[in-house]
Amino acid sequence: MEEWHQKLHNNTSPDDVVICQALIDYIKSDFDISVYWNTLNTNGITKERLLSYDRAIRNEPKFSSDQKEGLLRDLGNYMRTLKAVHSGADLESAISNCMGYTSEGQGFMVGVNINPVSGLPSGFPELLQFVLEHVEDKNAETLLEGLLEAREELRPSLSKPNDRLKDLLFLDIALDSTVRTAIERSYEELNNAKPEKVMYLITLVLENLILSSDNNEDLIYCLKGWNQALSMLETGDGSWALFAKSVLDRTRLALASKGESYHQLLQPSAEYLGARLNLDQWAVYHLIISFKSGVVL
């Protein structure tokens, strides 16, 4: 349990929904460990996969009967949070709000009619439908390409006056969140991936970050550098690895600079809230570090 807790803080992923369900099933079966493994294996999570995480899960869960009710309550509540983070529910809702939908009323419940947001690019609904059809694909590349194309198409509408701007912003946030989920889903296959696949996914991640950032000139130069390194590899240029290493170093510096800017932006608010809530200083520090690394649920 402690190992899973460390994984959650370091890098939560869609696998955590399955792990949480496996723990719940294990507890409900009066701690039958075979039930735990059956839930994991049925959903494609093996012992080797558990060991492959940055924070590996090596040990089986061991609980006592007096912990049963409390664990089921806490894990049930946490499961709802995990599903909200890693499922496509938020994305589907955001797309529906922008594309419009009608819900028939029943009994005392009145019907709902939401009109589509006006002024969206032609072909945009079909692009969003494509994203929804591929949102559960194990191969993340096709989904990521669709998500980024959708964010690029949506971007001009975010800077124009619109009485439904809030719906558009929530759609962009949902698309961005789905990018992260898709990338996390592909981590395991990257362990044995060829360099060109790794570099291509890096370009997709950087492109998404650029779409979410202002003052992003350094990130744009990094993206151009990765595209150049990928082109050098594909054409057989023997210096591609050295060039890619230089781009990697520049990318690290750009990300560190961006993280520091967010730290300076958020730190005063964190300290104010910490003082008002009488929090220990370590908790305030941990909150900012978590925000910077993107692991706060």
Q: What are 54-113's pLDDT values in tens digits?
A: 788 999 999 888 889 989 998 988 888 887 666 556 788 889 888 887 655 544 444 566
Give the residue numbers spanning the domain of 134.
88-192
**Strongest mean pLDDT among 13-27, 141-155, 252-266:** 141-155
Same domain, 12 and 28: yes
Residue 287's pLDDT is 66
Give the DSSP per-residue string, 192-260. Answer: T--HHHHHHHHHHHHHHHHHT-SS-HHHHHHHHHHHHHHHHHHTT-TTHHHHHHHHHHHHHHHHHHHHH
Residue 271's pLDDT is 86
Residue 295's pLDDT is 43
Mean pLDDT of the chain: 86
With CA atoms as reference, report the closest residue to 212 among 174, 242, 249, 165.
174
Same domain, 140 and 229: no
Same domain, 95 and 186: yes
| Residue range 109-122: mean pLDDT, rounded | 74
Domain boundary (86, 119, 145) is at 86
Domain boundary (164, 192, 220) is at 192
pLDDT bin (cut points 50, 70, 90) of residue 296 is very low
What three-state secondary structure class fits 39? Answer: helix
For residues 147 and 33, what is the distance between their CA atoms, to the nearest angstrom? 39
Is the distance from CB of 75 to CB of 24 less than 8 angstroms?
yes
Same domain, 96 and 178: yes
Same domain, 6 and 82: yes
For residues 66 and 36, what is the distance between their CA atoms, to the nearest angstrom? 19
Q: Pick the more confident residue, 284 or 211.
A: 211
Same domain, 95 and 163: yes
Same domain, 204 and 287: yes
Residue 180's pLDDT is 86
Same domain, 65 and 109: no
Same domain, 252 and 277: yes
Burial of 232 (0-12, 13-18, 19+ CB in 10 A): middle
If one counts the domains in the chain, the total is 3
**Lowest-pLDDT range of 6-10, 46-50, 54-58, 144-148:** 6-10
For residues 250 and 244, what is the distance between their CA atoms, to the nearest angstrom? 10
Residue 110's pLDDT is 47
Q: Pick the more confident residue, 140 or 224.
A: 224
Q: Which residues of 135-147 are buried (b: 16+ CB within 10 A; e: fewer)?
A: beeeebeebbebb
Render pLDDT for 152-209 as a digit per residue (tens, 0 to 9). 999 999 988 888 899 999 999 999 989 988 887 787 778 788 999 999 999 999 999 9
Same domain, 82 and 13: yes
pLDDT above 90 for 138: no
Domain boundary (192, 222, 249) is at 192
Give the DSSP per-residue string, 86-128. Answer: HSSHHHHHHHHHHH-EEE---TTPPPEEEPPPTTPPTTHHHHH
Same domain, 54 and 136: no
Residue 289's pLDDT is 65
What three-state secondary structure class fits 278? Answer: coil
Q: C-alpha angle with apex 179: 175 to 181, nearest 5 degrees? A: 115
Residue 90's pLDDT is 76
| pTM for this prediction | 0.71
Is the distance from CB of 88 to CB of 143 less than 8 angstroms?
no
Same domain, 93 and 187: yes
For residues 42 and 38, what is the distance between their CA atoms, to the nearest angstrom? 6
pLDDT above 50 for 143: yes
